[in-house]
């Protein structure tokens, strides 16, 4: 199985730049960013008022409760595509600081963010991930993908120096 370092992404225009060009009355959003509309029945057909699934990492790691929590994790991934993780051990202050740094990074001018642009055939850096085809529908979003663990896999060329607390 290929690792994240073995997978590349085709280059695509920056969404922030595209938004500027699509803002006029005669402008249009490029087709590859437009997804067919789903009918409201499709969108809500499986929704029964349930809350976002919560997965407890302590229970996943505990021999007494891991099987039950694994069933919850599988269901969350299969039916929701995401979940909230609790008891992960990351202090609230660290999470708050990371959120602040991410907001600060994406609030910078485009030229500042472009210093961290993905290299060809790479996921790491600023851009879009997993673009394999010229016909592929794209998300209307840019991202910053960084290797963080293990620490010796970090390529600091892609780690923003502003805000200074990011590194």
pTM (2 decimals)? 0.71
Domain ranges of the chain: 110-167
Residue 86 token pair = 């609790």
Residue 3 token pair = 């690792």
Mean pLDDT of the chain: 84
133-137, Cβ contacts within 8 angstroms, sequence gap of 24 or more = 133/10, 134/10, 135/32, 136/32, 137/32, 137/33, 137/34, 137/35
pLDDT in tens, 43-94: 555 556 678 999 999 999 999 989 999 999 999 999 888 999 999 999 999 9
């Amino acid at each position: 199985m290929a690792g994240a370092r073995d997978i590349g992404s085709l280059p695509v225009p920056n969404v922030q730049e595209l938004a500027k060009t699509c803002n006029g009355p005669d402008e249009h959003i490029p087709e590859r960013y437009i997804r067919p509309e789903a009918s409201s029945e499709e969108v809500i057909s499986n929704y029964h008022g349930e809350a976002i699934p919560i997965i407890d990492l302590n229970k996943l790691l505990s021999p007494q409760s891991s099987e039950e929590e694994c069933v919850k994790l599988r269901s969350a991934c299969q039916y929701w595509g995401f979940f909230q993780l609790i008891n992960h051990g990351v202090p609230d202050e660290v999470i708050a600081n990371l959120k602040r740094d991410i907001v600060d990074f994406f609030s910078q001018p485009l030229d500042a963010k472009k210093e961290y642009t993905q290299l060809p055939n790479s996921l790491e850096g600023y851009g879009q991930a997993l673009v394999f085809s010229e016909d592929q529908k794209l998300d209307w979003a840019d991202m910053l993908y960084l290797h963080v663990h293990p620490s010796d896999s970090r390529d600091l060329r892609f780690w923003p120096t502003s805000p200074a607390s990011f590194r």
